[in-house]
Every structure is written in C-alpha cells, then in structure tokens.
Amino acid sequence: MLRKSVPVGQIGLRWTSTVVDAVIAETATVPVATDITRAKPFASIPGPRQLPFIGNLLDYRFGKHPLNRCHDMIVERYRLYGPLVRESVLGRHFVRVFDPEDVRTIFQNDTKHPMIRPLQEPVRTYRKMRRFSLGLGNLNGEDWYRLRSSVQQAMMRPQAVITYLPYVEDVASTLINYIRHRRQPDTLEMHDFKKVVSKWSLESSGRVVFEQKLGSLSGGQTEAWADKLIDANSEMFYYAGILKFSIPFHDWLPTPKWLKLVKVEDFVYGESRRLVLETIKNVMKFNDPQKYTFMRYLISKKDLTQEDVFILSHSMVGDTLNTTGPMLIYNLYNLAANPECQERLYKEVCENVPKNGNMDGSVLNKMSYLKACVKETFRLFPIGTELSRILQKDLVLSGYKVPAGTPCDINIGLLLMTDHFKEPKSFKPERWLRDGKEAEPVHPFMLLPFGHGPRMCIGRRFSEQDLYVVLSRLVQNFKITYRHGQIGQYYKTLLLPKGNAHFTFEDRV
C-alpha cells in the first residue's frame, strides 16, 4: 500500500497520512511505503543538525526559542522537516511524531506492557535517591504492570469514581463561596485566580484521597500552608523542566539547581507522607467500610507496598495541581472569551443541574455541550507537549523504518490549534457534538489529552469529573468575563497558563 505526501502547509487537512522530506520542494509528492522491507532507512529521517554527543540539547537551552517556549520550537520542527523528525540528546536518538496515522500505528502495536520515557527524569532520580516507589510514570515492564493493575479498578471505572462525587460537589461549593467573599467589591474581579484554582484542586483531590478538609480555601494557617505547598510544587516542575534539558551533572555532583529541586521535593513529599500516614491511622482506627474508601482500597491490595501507597496518593494530589488546575483556567478563559458559548452552556446546566440539589452521574452524562467545551479546550490548550512510547518492534512511520527501542515523542497535540480542523483558532465546542450539524470528522488518534491504551492517564476519570462539576457550578452561579487580553501558555515540564487570570465573577440572578 502506498500513501501520497502533500505539502507541509496542507498536512492534517484530511485524514490520510502524509510525509514531507525537508529536502524535497514543498510541492513535490513522494510515495510512502508501509512495507518494512521497502521503507527508507532510519538515518535518512529529516531533522536538525546534531552535534557530537550533545546532539540537539543546545537548541533547547540556547536556541531561537527560550526554554519556556520549547513547544514553539517543537512545532517549528514540524514546519521545517515534516511529520517525522529525528533528533538526539546526549547520544540518545529519538523521533518526533506528528502524523495521526503514525500515532495509530504506534498505539496499535502496543504490547501488554507499553514502554515510555519518564516525563521528569530528575524526579525519578530523586525518588531513587530517597528509595521511594518510582510511581506509574517512571516504571516499565512488570513493575509498572503490578502497580497499574492494582489500582485500575478503583481509578478507571466510572462507577467507582462517581462514589466521590459528593466530595467534589462540596469543594466546588466551597470555591463559589470563596469567590463571593474574596473578589474585589467594586469590580467583582478575582485577582491571582491561578493560585485560587490550585487551592481548589488541592482541596478536591485531598478530599478524595484523605477524606479530610485540608483547609486550602478556609483562610488562616491552613490556607497559608496550602500556599506554601502549591508554591513548592510549582518549583518542583520548574527545576525538573530545566534539569531535563541539561547535561545531568547532578547524577554525580550536587549542582545548585539539583539541590534546590531536592529541597522543594523533600518538603512536598514530606507533607504528602504525613497526610498518608494520618489517613492510614484513621483507617485502622475507624473500622468503617464507608469511610476512607480510597486509602482503604490501596492498603487492601497485597501487591502494593507502603511506599507504593504513598507515591500513588501523592501523585493523585500533587499532579492535579499542574494538570486539572490549569485546565480549569483554560476552560474559563474560553467561556469568557466566547460569551455565546458560555450562555449555551448555562442553558444546558440550568436544564439538568438542580441549583440547590446534588448532582449525580446521570446528570453529568446528559450534558453533552459541557463535555464538548472541555474537549475543545483540550484541543486549543494542550497540557503536555508529548506522549511517550519506546517502540518494542520495528515499525514503518511515514515511510521510514524506525527500529525497536527507539523513543517516540508523539507531538500531535501541539498542532491542533493550527492544523487538522476548520477554523482551527476558533473555540467551537459544537464540532465535537456527534449529532450536531457542525460536527467535524476527526481522526480517532488526533486528540488524546489523557493518552491511549494501557498507559492512559490513571487519573483521567477523576480529572474529568472535577472539571465537569466545577464548571457547571461556576457557570450556574456566575457570568464570567475576562478583560486582560489573551491567555497563552509557557513550558514548565507541562504547558501552564501565561497571563494574570484575573477573571470577573458577576452573580447570576
């Protein structure tokens, strides 16, 4: 079977896979082989010039784009070299994948134990140093499968996650009261809402994991503690992002940035461990199967060590600060910038969500426009730069033979605001409505914010539930506006909101 390439500027306008070699004129067409015996060699995959051993490392640290804009450089790679790009860092070759058909090929060849590169190698180094469990994002093979299979049922089954819906609702109500009391009395504007959203995220995940009110939105010492924890967690991601694109001298010497990372990691992990141990103590003290459901489940699994329980609990709380929290900011920005969409969502919420009553799973399932808004926000504001896979067999990607053992960074999400969709820069949730007139055909491997297959994000169901509930309640209670230009993104291991996020919350009558 042969596939035909098209110019770079046209890539993604159709479902068909494409390939463009950087050295071929933009209007040229070339046959793309899918038979591995006819595929072009790995060494001929286009890409930037590589220095001996260093490879392309300096491009990320001192190149055209600063490190906090490295996602722009990744997109530039695509524009210059096409849908498959070969790079190397410190002697290790990898490929960047931008074609959804290649993504399909990679995921359809996943084994029972898909292999990945860790998102934060410095964090893995830290955990090894402290003799912690490495966690799902840093493990491969049987060790990963043991951990994943132990928590799969409690974290990925929709009915299991709905159990925690009352906690999520309660925290959403706390956030609404917080906004009413803390917004500016004259302008109704909430300043530094990014920090407020982090407190909401910390409180919501803490209620699920520890079944206690952490006090992140309550003022006084507990809120000050939450501020300190959130700031330290943010520093963790900052230093991990810098060290990711550095020669790892910290593997042998305690460099200044490594010591700063260790300091904030020690604080954050120490607080997490304290909360976990307190909750385990309460589980033993109160022998009630209706209480401490999440922790009770974890400690009941014979395959999990205490260190596994700790790191899983820590990840549930800490990771959401830099994932679910920012996604709420992006969703609110899109709704504020598109008031007609906000009003349509408000109407759907009013039709389905009792203002003074509790939500349940059936209510959430009815709100197709709400889910379309969240999905469209994931398209416009990807939270990560890549999904990772290490090939476990030779594959043909865009006509090139890519050997087993090659790390692949799947970067398709970075193109979704500029390619692949009609009016790509417009916020159009209706494009995701299955029965809508404006629905668009979308390649099934195009939008994968939580990954795919066995290594799909283990916290996906919790994150979606949090977003659906809090967005419903915020839109139900407030008309949300934003008067400070555009919110962008900057890289800090993940893609975080760039802008002041000073939203205005006007009470709905």
Could you read off the pLDDT of 198-226 as tens digits, one per residue?
Answer: 999 999 999 999 999 999 999 999 999 99
Q: What is the band of 345 on the pLDDT scale with cuts at 50, 70, 90?
A: very high
> What are the tens digits of pLDDT across the range 13-70?
323 333 323 322 332 334 455 688 899 999 999 999 999 999 999 999 888 899 999 9
Instruction: Quote the pLDDT of residue 21.
Output: 31
Instruction: Quote the pLDDT of residue 22.
Output: 31
The answer to whether 22 and 81 have CB atoms below 8 angstroms apart is: yes
Residue 2, pLDDT > 80, answer no
Q: What is the band of 509 on the pLDDT scale with cuts at 50, 70, 90?
A: confident
> What are the tens digits of pLDDT across the range 248-260?
999 999 999 999 9
431 phi and psi, to 5 degrees? -65, -15
User: Which value, in Å, is the radius of gyration of the alpha carbons in the chain?
Assistant: 23
Instruction: Quote the pLDDT of residue 357.
Output: 81
Q: What is the band of 175 on the pLDDT scale with cuts at 50, 70, 90?
A: very high
CA nearest 199: which of 341, 365, 325?
325
| Class of 132-383+449-507 in CATH | mainly alpha
Q: Is 426 left (phi over 0), alpha (psi -120 to 50) or beta?
A: beta
Q: Which residue blocks in 245-323 are alpha helix, DSSP H?
A: 256-285, 293-300, 306-321
Give the three-state DSSP class for 20.
coil
**Which of 7-21, 99-113, 139-153, 271-285 comes out lowest in average pLDDT?**
7-21
Q: Is 65 left (phi over 0), alpha (psi -120 to 50) or beta?
A: beta
Residue 157, pLDDT > 60, answer yes
Instruction: Quote the pLDDT of residue 225.
Output: 97
CA nearest 135: which of 315, 386, 387?
315
**Rounded Cα distance, 299 and 297, in Å:** 6
The pair of three-digit structure tokens given for residue 382, joined into one six-digit string? 């990807």
User: What percentage of the chain exceeds 70 in pLDDT?
Assistant: 93
**Rounded Cα distance, 353 and 419, in Å:** 36
**Rounded Cα distance, 204 and 462, in Å:** 10
**Rounded Cα distance, 17 and 29, in Å:** 13
Q: What is the band of 437 on the pLDDT scale with cuts at 50, 70, 90?
A: confident
Q: What is the band of 116 on the pLDDT scale with cuts at 50, 70, 90?
A: very high
